[in-house]
Structure formats: structure tokens, C-alpha cells
Structure 1
């Protein structure tokens, strides 16, 4: 077996010529011979890729199911008092609660990921997310138990945030720490595919339910089948998906990079303290590198859904697009998100992470200038809205793809889980948690063009961070010590 650095976990170099091929079994099928270069500790890289991608797909499915329900369900069933805008903002506030929990999740799961290992921690994060999402599907509504309903919803949403705070960095490390030399961005692209795949699954299930049961978000029927019981189905389905994810992840072994670090005696007692003591600069840079990505995604998805399906008013209001039609537009656009991830994975390996992301970030800034023309409530059409969504999701794929390589490459192995997780999820508070809320307020108070200005400003901060950051493409994950970007 050969690892990225060419050394076994015992520190002894293993010759590729001794074991050029390895035979393994797939279930009860015939033996399959796999080239040694495609194995990591006897585990096929294909299985590692599937494990990283399936897990993130499930967790993002759970997360996006809530995001969709925060616009279409929860304002009516959990926050019904006051005017519709107030109910929507209250629902979006609980949506943002998960982003407050995510840095805490990265600290909690990061501690065990850096102390115990990547595999065990990833299994735990998947369980927490699955249980919380399943329980959301069983919650009583405001009309049944009063204020207890939104309180329980907030607890479940917080738990989702904790779990996702530990999921992303663990999946990214699973991919990067087992990648072939020179192919880290390509390998790290696979868990990133979990985001668009999870989005497609979550919104696809809601689309099927709306077609089957009927639902008009502009004129909701509280006694109709969708709001009575149908909305619970996407959350209850997560139990089946989590079982599949656990089956895949329990068949993995620990990453060789982490195993070598443990053998060298590099494990620290408190990874969090080590990060803030010696890697604080990487932490700040990594957080702001992610800022534009988060802001872009939650403006183009969660806020755009509420604005696109909102009623038109004398002062502009929303676009008045039927919920079913808008959901179809989003599903089309997210295909461009998924398609761009392999492209940017290839570009980041060929030209470097920094140059690739600088070009994309400038594109995001230019995109912010077109919010007014494309989404003006007085002139926007379904076609212009689709163009807006496609451009946004294309840019999202290009900026999101390299992140699971960039952030882990900033930190040494013994605090990589904690450091990359905190940077990723701290950006979620600055970029994602407040994005739908701020965008809704700006569009209502000053017009939709100011939402574009908001996105442009976030991208400008990311551009500054990228200009400060050094290139990390050629950094060995075993050699990242006191690396200073």
C-alpha cells in the first residue's frame, strides 16, 4: 500500500512493487482486483469517495429540508401570530439559529476528530443530524401546544447545526487526507457534491408533495393535506437515509495522515486552545475566504425563495411566482451548481486554489450589480428569475468546490478538524445565518438592488482575504506545521 507521502502508518516505506494489486470483495460478489494506488489502508478510494459524498448529501438534505420548510411551512404552523412578514422573519430567525450552533459543533466534534479520529466522529455527527431531523417531523404545531412548538423547533434546529458543524470538516478531511498527490482539490470536490445533491433531494421531495397534495404558498390552506401532514414526510424520510449513510461510513478505516500524526506523538490535549494560540491568523483568513460563498448561497436559495414567491405589492413586494413554479426554477439552477464542482476541482489543482477563487470572487461581485435589473418586481419574469438563479448557482459551484481543500490545507493535522471546522462555520454566522434576514429587510425597505450590494460587500471581504492568503496547492498535509498564509 502506498500513501500520499509514500510511507506506511508504522513509518516504514512500503514498496509499490511488493503489492502492486490487492484483491477484495464487494458484498457477496466475486473478488475484485484493485490497483494498489487506488487503495488506502486496504480500502478502495471509491468507497472513501462514496462515504464522504453520501454522508454530506444526507446531512445537507436534512439541512435544506428545514430551509425550505422555513419559508413554506413554519411561518404558518409554528409562528402564526402577527402579519405574514413578521411570521416569515421569525421563521428565518430559527433557521439562522443553526448557524450559531455550527461553530459550537465544529469545536465539539473537532475536539474528538482531532483526538480520537475522523471516522468515529463522522458517524456521531450523522446520527445527531438524523435524529434531530426525524424528530422535527413529529413535532406538534403552535395550534396544538402553543409556544412550546416553536421552542421545540428551535432545539431541533440547534441540534442540526451542531451536527453539520462537525460533518463538513470531517468529510473534507476524509477526502483530502486520502487523496492522491496533486489531486487533493479533485478528491475534496466529491463531498462538496453533497450540497447540491442534498438540495435536489430535499426540494425534489417537497416538489413531489406539492404536486401530489396541492399547496399555494401565497394562499396557504391550513387544513389542507400538505400543511396538515404532508410537510412531515421529508423529515421522517431522513431515518432511512441515515441508515444508508451509517452502513457506508462504518466500513471505513482511519485516514493515514491522521494515523501518522498520532504515531509521531503530535496529538494535543486541547485542539481548540492550540488553534487559537498558534493558528489564529489562518482561522481569520479561512473564515473570510468562506464568507462570499455562504452569503451567495443563502441569498440565492432561502431568500430568493421567499422573495420570488412573495405577493406583489404597490411598493414592489415580491415577484408573485407560484411556489411550485419557483421550486422548479431552483431545481433547474442547482444542476449548474453540481456541474461546476468538477470543473473548479480540476482548475484548483491545475492553476492553484488562490487564483481560481480570486477570479470567481470578482465574478460574484459583478453578479451583485445585476440584482436590480433581473429581479425588479415591476419588470421581472420567470425567465429573468431563472437567469438570475442559474448565474448565482454557477458561481456557487465555482466558489464552493475548492473550499474543502483550501481550509484543511491551512491547518496542521493535529488541529485540522477543529481549525477547518471553526473557519467554515464561523463564516456561516457572518454569511449564512443573517443573509436571508438581512436580504429580506433590505428588499422590503430599500429595494432588491440593495440585496446585490450586500452580496457585493461580502465578496469584497473575501477578495481581501484571498489576496492575503498564500497558495496552498503544493503544501504537504504531513508538513503543515506552523504554516502561516
Structure 2
């Protein structure tokens, strides 16, 4: 009964809006990552060697992460001062418009060096918008969810990754199958279709987002009067938490963008796997991620956020030791196991995050604190590994990639262990250290 009322009521509408916005965010990133791995080296960097074209293409993918913390600070500032909803409308429009813009850029053969420069510009705009999207969507769900079911309702924000992965790979799979091999019109204009379809998703998400109400927690905190600069307050009052929250998400980002970008590129260029196989594995990985995100988010209401996220990190640590050897094996089945298994672990790690990260920060700078920490972790875990991996492979060998992934996962695990449990905590916290209200009992947790 509670679930039905939530779905049809205000909380359900917010959860739906967060889900759709998150799905578009990850859809835009995954179609770009897929294109960067399979298409952009040829379309935008045709005069470079295969290795340099791959590095340049993945470098444009990483460029968005550089502007994400800036977007997190800017949209976090306005989201903490004028409201979550207004900031989220702007992030959605900029994000979707940038993706459509990528689909309209002529190739390097047509306009020369202007093509990759325009690509980078669109990518930086996309990253700027995405920097404010996740935190705002997570906060809207977290601040309006019932306290004892916050993990469940915040789950919908996190389901966006798996949904986007399935959607992006299915669309690319359909387009690629329709246009045939690499010499076909697919490389000329077919790859643009997934980007142009962002306009349809944008229109749907914008309609939904314009019809939700502002967070009541934010409205109540606004009555306390104007605060200082949110970024400065977050760093001054909860700098330790900003650093640890950033560290906690590094491994999740690293696994997601290695599996979604570098490994598909490696499978296509080094193992010469058929693109349809690579895309189909991505679809199955997305489906797997959806299931594990839902389970992990829901269980975090009972067993705690830190425990569930930490469990995922513990699983990820030995997995990183065998992940690249499985990909390198030359066996398509083992490649499928590697990618799908990775998305299962990603699902466990990311499921509780939309509740966990907002619960860490005080209301007056929650948007900024959550957004900046999440996106700093994104730079370290999401931007650097896909770009560094081909360099490490060429200079040091595959062991260096494995060492990098294992080291980043260990860093996340330590950060998670140093954070406090947040499940059951009230979000009506105007300042760090203010009373959190009664905590709900959590099965399996002590103290």
C-alpha cells in the first residue's frame, strides 16, 4: 500500500523525474563512450595512427569530467540557494542539447580540425551540465522520500545507469546492424542517430521535471535565512567528508567507464570482435546492473548504506585482478562474463549511493557537497583510467592496467570504511553537527 501511494503521489513523481533525468545523463555518456570506442577514431581523427586516434578519442570522452566539478559547484550553488528543481531544469536542457550537438558535427574530412574542436566543446558543455545533474536528482529523491525507505526511493536515480546502458547499446546495435560493416554509411551518418534521439528523451524528461514540486527539506531550510557560499561552507565544515565521499565513488566510476569504454575499444581493436557482439554484451550488462542496483538500494534500508557499498567494494577488489585477463583471453564467452560480472558489482556499489552521499551533508550546502565530491571521484575514476589504459598497455603491459584498477578500488574501500553510517539519519540538518533526530533501527547493525 505504501509503495502504491508513493508511486502515485508526490514522492513517486519525484522518483520518476530523477529516474528519467539520470537515464538521460548516462545515456548521453554511454552513447558518447561507445562512439568514442568504435567510431570517433575514424570520423574525427582519421590522420592519426590507430593508437593515437584511440587515445585522442578517449581523451575527448575524458574532457567532460574536467568540467563536471565546475558544473557541480555552479549548479550546486544555485541549487542550494534558489532550489533543486530550477537547477535541474537547466542541467537537463544543456545536457540534452549538447548531445544533439555532437550528432550534428561534420566529420574531420569535411571541416578539418574544427570537427574535433567542436566535439571537445560539446563534450565540455555536457560535462558541465552533468556535474549538477546527479546530485540534484539524488537530493530531490532523498529529501522527499520516507525516512525508513530512502534507499528504495533513491534507487530510481541509480537505475538510470543500467537503463541507459541497455538503451544506448540497443540503439547502437540496431543502427549498426541496419547499416552493415565499417565501410557502410554507419560511419558516415548512421552513428549520429543515437545522439539525435536525445532530443526525444529530453522533451519527455523536461515535461516530467517541470511538473514536480520543490524539495520540502530545502523549502524549510530556506526559512532559516541566507547562508554563505555553499562550496566554501562545505569545505570548511565537512572537508573530510567531501574527500572521503569522493574516494568512495572512485571504484564505481572506474569499473563503469572501463567496462563501457576502454574494454569495448580493446575488444574491437585488439581482439577484432564483431561490434554486434560487443554491443549485445553491453545490453546484458545493463540488465544485470538494473537488478543489482535495485537489490542493493533496497537492502541498504535494512543493513545500512556503508555496509552494502563496502560489500560491493570488497567484491571488486579481487575481481579487478582477474578482470583484464578475462577480457584478454580471446574467448568471447569470457569477455561476456568479465563485462556482465563487472556491471553486477557496479550495481551493488552504486545502488545505495543516491541515499548515502546526500545523507552525509548538511542541508544548506548538500547539493554542492554531494555534487562536488561525486564529480571529483568521477575525474579520478571515470576520466583517467580509460585514457591511461592504452598508454599503460603499450608501455608497461597489461599488469599495469590491473594494478591501476586494483589500487583505485582499494582507495575506495578505505574511504568507505572511514565514513560513518548514515541510514536512518534525518535530512533536516541545517548545519553539520546539528541534531540528526532519531535514527531508525537497522537489522544487522550495531551501535
Place the TM-score, normalised by the shorter chain, in its bin.
Answer: over 0.9
1:306 and 2:265 matched? yes
2:186 counterpart of 1:226: yes
State the 1:447 CA deviation: 3.2
Residue in structure 1 matching 2:336, options 383, 386, 395: 386
Whether the 8 Å CA contact 2:102–2:195 is kept in 1: the answer is yes
The answer to whether the 8 A contact 1:89-1:437 is kept is: yes
What is the Cα deviation at residue 35 of structure 1?
Answer: 7.7
- In 2, Cα distance between equivalents of 1:134 and 1:43: 33
TM-score for the superposition, normalised by structure 2: 0.93
Task: Give CA deviations for 1:136-161 in whole Å, capped at 9, x if unaligned.
Answer: 11111111111111111100000000
Comparing 473-482 with 76-85, which one deviates more in the overlay?
A: 473-482
Q: Deviations over 1:53-82 (max 9, x none)?
A: 011111221121111111122111111122
Residue of structure 1 equivalent to 2:31? 65
Once residues 226 and 180 of structure 1 are traced to their aligned partners in structure 2, the CA distance between those partners, rounded to angstroms, is 48
Q: Give 1:444 shift.
A: 3.0
Root-mean-square deviation (Å): 2.0
Q: How many residues align?
A: 435
Partner of 2:367: 417
Superposed displacement of residue 446, structure 1: 3.3
Q: Does 1:361 align with 2:326?
A: no
In terms of Rg, which structure is larger? 1
**Higher RCO (CA-CA < 8 Å; seq separation 6+):** 2
The residue that corresponds to 1:440 in the other structure is 390
Q: CA deviation at 1:275?
A: 1.3
Paired position in structure 1 for 2:63? 97
Superposition pairs of residues 30-429 of structure 1, within 5 angstroms: 38=5, 43-215=9-181, 220-221=182-183, 224-265=184-225, 267-310=226-269, 318-376=270-328, 379-429=329-379
Change (3 A) 1:373 1:433: closer
**Which of 432, 444, 451 is 2:401 aligned to?**
451
Could you tell me the TM-score, scaled by structure 1's length? 0.86
Contact 1:61 1:198 in 2 (8 A): yes
Partners of 2:106 and 2:115 within 8 A in 1: yes
Alpha-carbon contact 1:410-1:483 (below 8 Å) kept: no
**Do the aligned residues in 2 keep the contact of 1:106 with 1:166 (CA within 8 Å)?**
yes
> Which ranges in structure 1 are unaligned for 5 or more consecutive residues?
1-33, 311-317
The 8 Å contact of residues 43 and 252 in structure 1, kept in 2 or not, is answered as no
Contact 2:249 2:374 in 1 (8 A): yes
Q: Shift of the alpha carbon at 1:336?
A: 0.8
Per the alignment, in what secondary structure is the counterpart of residue 385 of structure 1?
helix
- Unaligned stretches of 5+ in structure 2? 435-447
- Quickly say closer, same or farther: Cα 1:288–1:282, change in 2 above 3 A: same
